Amino acid sequence: MRPAPETTPEREWRVVLRARIQTTSCGGGDIRRLMSYVVVCASGSGVFRRLPAVVPTIARQAPSAQYDDRMSERRSNDALRRLLNEIGWSPYELARAVNRVVPPDRRVHAKTPFAWRDRGTVPRDPLPAVVAGILTEARGKVVTVDQLWPGRNHGTEVWLPSISGIAQAPWSPDETLTLLSECQIGPGSRTFFAVSGGELSTIANGWASASHSLAADRTRSTSAGGITHDLIAYLEQDLSQLRRLDDGHGGELVLRTVTHRLSLASDMLAESSYEAGIGRRLLSVVGQMAQLAGWLGFDLGRHGIAQRMYLLGLRAAAASGDRQLGALILSCIAFQQTWRNRPHDAVAIMSTVTRQLRGTATPRVRALIAMREARAFATAGMAREASAALDRAHDGVARGHHENDPAWTYWMDETVLTSEAGRCFLQLGDIRQAESKLANGLAQLGDETSRDRVLYGLSLALAHARAQGSQQDLELACYEANRVLPMLPIVGSVRCRNLIATIRTELRPHRKTASVRDLFASLEEPTNAFIC
């Protein structure tokens, strides 16, 4: 039976549909939405019944559309399937992770990753790089676009692993200055994803063997002028004030302020003239700024940019010859890995730091490093090693101040060590010790350290909630949580919010208890965090 001849309205809709598809680079899901659009528009035109046959024909004719005859021949993406299974994610979880990091106009439907996995469809740029970065963070090892979609890597410079350009770069002052020139956070800047495992250990070993600090004067023929000790003293004083702002609440605006100062200081290094000694001092300031930026990013849950800042700071510390600063930054990287539940990375990094710092650091610096080492051991479940590291930390603090203590050790005292010891015992499951240490530490914390009060207060609440049998005190757990909740709106810390989520999980079986019910009601209220 011969098909009915095409009417004039049908020809018009065919032209409209072809034009729309040819100007759209989209996948099967987008084509289906386009079909629906045309069906709705055509519903009053008298050609509705013929559209199911018309649309697939035109879609196949569209040269730029991804909906073509090869769609039926595509195989499932075994590499993506294997990686999702390895990290225990469903495609739904991948969609949520993508939508958390991309702008609203790049977000995907919850079911779109099913097409990536099961039918082998390729997402539009820059989503392949975004997916590779997200899986890199979740897996702890670098995942490339070529692994997921061979031949589809367009070399985006926007979504990159944190070690990009750093892992293979020589540990020379000139290379460090080049890397520092890209210290930017904000609109149009790159997005970095955190890595784990061997990549970080390799960088730690590279720092351990680096021996090239800035040795020669720098002369520039620009109008920027020369850098003086007075200018660097101003930068150091300014950095000290920024550290106090971080102590109070941290947050996005403080991070932006620090990275702005870091960018200016990096420009000074690149564009100004200075003696070698002044250059090394300025590099040390830059390294400290990068460390603070990394810490702020880490506290905000932005692990990729935090790790990037730490690694740039480590380069600056090496170029300045400041081994103690390099040790601090590596301990921050290890500390970040404990919060990311990668304790073996932390243990390996701290082992390198401890070997390199032996006999060359002040007692206070050694105490700080030992405290971070204890946290790494505790997260890995190594109770004996954690206890020994805490003993070394207490011994270092007991030795008091030293005239050569770096300015960044100001916060390392018995109060912080006691509180951190409580967190270690909480990780190890020693609830009685955790409750004792955290309570003692909280009693000594000053009012100006809002974030620490919230962090350790919630940790104490969690310890009470995790106690077993007659030792469990739900009333006290809720009381400790309620004490610090009013401070939460001024603390821009994702770590604190993650602790609240953990407390809720621990207390959910007891939600019919009056105190737990009241706490849950308080947590349900909007907090509108003031990120400053």
With 80 as the cut, is the pLDDT of residue 140 above it?
Answer: no
Helix (H) or strand (E) holding 191, with range, is strand 191-193
Q: Determine the 3-state secondary structure of 159 from DSSP.
A: strand
Helices (H), 1-148: 8-22, 28-42, 51-61, 78-87, 91-101, 112-118, 127-139, 145-148
With 70 as the cut, is the pLDDT of residue 50 above it?
Answer: no
Quote the pLDDT of residue 45: 45
As a dihedral over the C-alpha atoms of residue 510, residue 521, residue 436, residue 339, rounded to 10 degrees, the angle is 90
Q: Determine the 3-state secondary structure of 451 from DSSP.
A: helix
> Residues 137-164: what's their mean pLDDT?
75
With 60 as the cut, is the pLDDT of residue 5 above it?
Answer: no
Helix (H) or strand (E) holding 160, with range, is strand 159-161
CB contact burial 179-200 (16+ within 10 A = b; e otherwise) = bbeebebeeeebbbbbbbbebb
Quote the pLDDT of residue 71: 42
Out of 57-71, 85-99, 140-154, 419-433, least confident range:
57-71
**Cβ–Cβ under 8 Å, residues 158 and 126:** yes
Which amino acid belongs to residue 86? Answer: E
Question: Distance between alpha carbon 111 and the CA centroid of its chain, in Å?
Answer: 26
> Residues 409-430: what's their mean pLDDT?
95
> Residues 374-379: what's their mean pLDDT?
97
> Residues 321-335: what's their mean pLDDT?
96
Query: Nearest 5 degrees, angle CA 499-CA 503-CA 504?
Result: 120
What are the backbone angles phi and psi of residue 161, rounded to the nearest 5°? -70, 150
With 90 as the cut, is the pLDDT of residue 375 above it?
Answer: yes
Nearest to 410 by CA among 233, 234, 244: 244
With 70 as the cut, is the pLDDT of residue 197 above it?
Answer: yes
Q: Report the interhelical angle of 474-484 vs 450-466 (nearest 10°).
A: 170
Out of 94-108, 284-298, 309-323, 433-447, least confident range:
94-108
- pLDDT classification of 64: cutoffs 50, 70, 90: very low
pLDDT tens across 421-472, in order?
999 999 999 999 999 999 999 999 887 788 899 999 999 999 999 988 766 7
Quote the pLDDT of residue 313: 95
- pLDDT classification of 60: cutoffs 50, 70, 90: very low
What lies within 8 Å, CB to CB, of 492 at 6+ separation is 249, 250, 251, 252, 299, 300, 529, 530, 531, 532
- pLDDT classification of 26: cutoffs 50, 70, 90: very low
With 90 as the cut, is the pLDDT of residue 235 above it?
Answer: yes
With 90 as the cut, is the pLDDT of residue 69 above it?
Answer: no
**Cβ–Cβ under 8 Å, residues 193 and 134:** yes
- pLDDT classification of 154: cutoffs 50, 70, 90: low
DSSP string, 226-291: B--HHHHHHHHHHHHHHHHHHHHT--HHHHHHHHHHHHHHHHHHHHSBB-HHHHHHHHHHHHHHHH
Out of 176-190, 278-292, 399-413, 482-496, least confident range:
176-190
Task: Decide: pTM greater than 0.95.
Answer: no
Nearest to 439 by CA among 451, 413, 421, 427: 421
Give the Cα separation of 256 and 185 in Å (integer): 7
Quote the pLDDT of residue 75: 80
Out of 29-38, 66-75, 146-155, 185-194, least confident range:
66-75
Out of 184-193, 229-238, 410-419, least confident range:
184-193
The first and second tokens of residue 93, run together, are: 């979880």
Quote the pLDDT of residue 157: 56
> Residues 338-353: what's their mean pLDDT?
94
> Residues 279-298: what's their mean pLDDT?
94
With 80 as the cut, is the pLDDT of residue 126 above it?
Answer: no
Question: In the chain, where are the structural domains located?
Answer: 8-71, 78-161, 172-338, 447-532
Residue predicted with more confidence, 230 or 36: 230
DSSP state of 218: B
Quote the pLDDT of residue 7: 55
Residues pairing with 229 in the sheet: none
Give the Cα separation of 393 and 414 in Å (integer): 9
What are the backbone angles phi and psi of residue 120, rounded to the nearest 5°? 75, 20
The region that residue 89 occupies, defined by phi over 0 for left and psi between -120 and 50 for alpha, beta otherwise, is beta
Quote the pLDDT of residue 63: 40
Residue predicted with more confidence, 530 or 526: 526
**Cβ–Cβ under 8 Å, residues 10 and 55:** no
Residue predicted with more confidence, 65 or 398: 398
Mean pLDDT (the chain, rounded): 82
